[in-house]
Amino acid sequence: DTGVSQDPRHKITKRGQNVTFRCDPISEHNRLYWYRQTLGQGPEFLTYFQNEAQLEKSRLLSDRFSAERPKGSFSTLEIQRTEQGDSAMYLCASSSSTGKGQPQHFGDGTRLSIL
Amino acid sequence: KNQVEQSPQSLIILEGKNCTLQCNYTVSPFSNLRWYKQDTGRGPVSLTIMTFSENTKSNGRYTATLDADTKQSSLHITASQLSDSASYICVVSAANNAGNMLTFGGGTRLMVKP
């Protein structure tokens, strides 16, 4: 079990550029979640996959954001035409849907800074 | 609206001292409550989980309590160490099995000084 892996750890880009983040969940986990966390706040839910199906999207996920999980394994989160308000830590988590109360295991996040 | 409120927002204690962090929630229907520890620049790591029927759970020097009637939880840290410096996040899970089932508190930022 290598845990949830996110890449890159840090991304600095100019406003208006597109960015893409990758998340590799724990291999046997079929659920994958994306969250956004700003300084001093708890994570906010963005979207959720079960296998390759994107089952929920938060209202926080504007049309500039898109997430995919094409083969039910790794996932990507793309932000188009970045804005300064997109600066945040983007966390990925995974869990198993079998059994009750399965914990979400978090990656160490991608910290995005928009100049 | 589901909400989780934590207090204090920040706390400074001396190494070796004990402290207690508080969490109040309004999440329905309730499934479980977890405390996570988040080191700076890292993802949250689960410390304890409690369901409706459990009122206390320990993990080493960490002891969590839950009062489901008053919808309050606390995390007690005994004999604090420098490595306890982190944010502690209270997370309540709703029993709807949806992707957004978790409601996160804003965290308590703990600093342990030598």
Task: Give me the tens of pLDDT residue by residue for chain B, a chain 114 residues long.
Answer: 889 999 999 999 999 999 999 999 998 888 899 999 999 989 999 999 898 888 999 999 999 999 999 999 999 999 999 999 999 999 998 877 666 678 999 999 999 999
| Number of other residues whose CB lies within 10 A of the CB of residue B15 | 14
Of B34, B41, B100, the CB nearest to A58: B100
**Closest to A3 measured CA to CA, from B3, B46, B106:** B46
Give the residue on A whose Cα is nearest the Cα of B39: A108
Q: What is the DSSP string of A43-58?
A: -EEEEEEETTEEEEE-
Predicted pLDDT of residue A25: 96
Which residues does chain A have within 8 Å of residue B9's beta carbon, measured at their own beta carbons? 40
Supply the pLDDT for residue B2.
84
Q: Which residue of A has its CA nearest to B3?
A: A42
Closest CA to B46 of B57, B54, A86, B55: B57
Q: Is residue A101 pLDDT above 80, yes or no?
A: no
| A1 pLDDT more than 60 | no
Check residue B77 and give its pLDDT. Answer: 98
What pLDDT, on a 0 to 100 scale, did the predictor assign at position A60?
81
Residue A54's pLDDT is 92
pLDDT digits (tens, 9 = 90+) for A6-60: 999 999 999 999 999 999 999 989 999 999 999 889 999 999 999 999 988 888 8
- Model confidence over A54-78: pLDDT tens digits? 988 888 888 999 999 998 899 999 9
- Alpha carbon separation from A36 to A42, A47, A65 (Å, rounded): 9, 10, 12
For residue A9, the chain B residue with the least C-alpha distance is B41
Using a CB-CB distance cutoff of 8 angstroms, which residues of chain A are in contact with residue B5? none
How many CB pairs below 8 A link A and B? 59
Which distant-in-sequence residues (6+ apart) come within 8 Å of B69 by Cβ? none
Q: Specify the higher pLDDT residue, A2 or A73.
A: A73
